[in-house]
């Protein structure tokens, strides 16, 4: 696939966030996984648009507990090798959320 096509698709994904935020929120995990695949593209324009699309779809997140770590999440997804601290932050959040969910289920 040509890089221009990828970039155009990423623009549309970002636009979807502002026009259909409910749909984006419902499909956010799958969308992030797909964007994560594109984040490894070697073309700078595609990487830049991927970062923008990440920010736009993540702007639909309304959970006040994680909204402040969204920029770290995006940076970690865009460059996981150099952003070990941010990746560890994500691991800690996942662990914390998993434990919280399990405690809620037990009550």
User: What average pLDDT does this structure show over 30-38?
Assistant: 89
Q: How many domains does the chain have?
A: 1
- C-alpha–C-alpha distance, residues 72 and 83, integer Å: 9
pLDDT at 95 over 70: no
Q: Are 72 and 80 in contact (CB under 8 A)?
A: no
Average pLDDT of the chain is: 82
Domain that holds residue 47: 3-106
Q: Are 43 and 18 in contact (CB under 8 A)?
A: no
- C-alpha–C-alpha distance, residues 100 and 104, integer Å: 6
Q: Tally Cβ neighbours within 10 Å of residue 103.
A: 9
Q: Which residue has the higher pLDDT, 81 or 62?
A: 62
Residue 44 CB partners (closer than 8 Å, separation 6+): none
Highest mean pLDDT pick, 11-25, 29-43, 76-90: 11-25
Predicted local distance difference test score (pLDDT) of residue 75: 81
Predicted local distance difference test score (pLDDT) of residue 101: 65
- C-alpha–C-alpha distance, residues 4 and 8, integer Å: 6
Predicted local distance difference test score (pLDDT) of residue 69: 77
User: What average pLDDT does this structure show over 54-69?
Assistant: 85
């Amino acid at each position: 696939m040509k890089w221009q096509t990828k970039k155009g698709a990423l623009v549309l994904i970002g636009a979807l966030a502002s026009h259909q935020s409910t749909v984006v929120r419902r499909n956010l995990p799958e969308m992030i996984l797909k964007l994560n695949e594109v984040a490894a593209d070697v073309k700078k324009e595609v990487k830049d648009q991927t970062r923008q699309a990440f920010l736009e779809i993540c702007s639909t997140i309304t959970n006040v507990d994680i909204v402040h770590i969204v920029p770290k999440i995006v940076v970690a997804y865009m460059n996981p090798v150099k952003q070990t601290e941010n990746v560890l932050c994500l691991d800690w959040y996942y662990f914390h959320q998993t434990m919280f969910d399990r405690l809620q289920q037990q009550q």
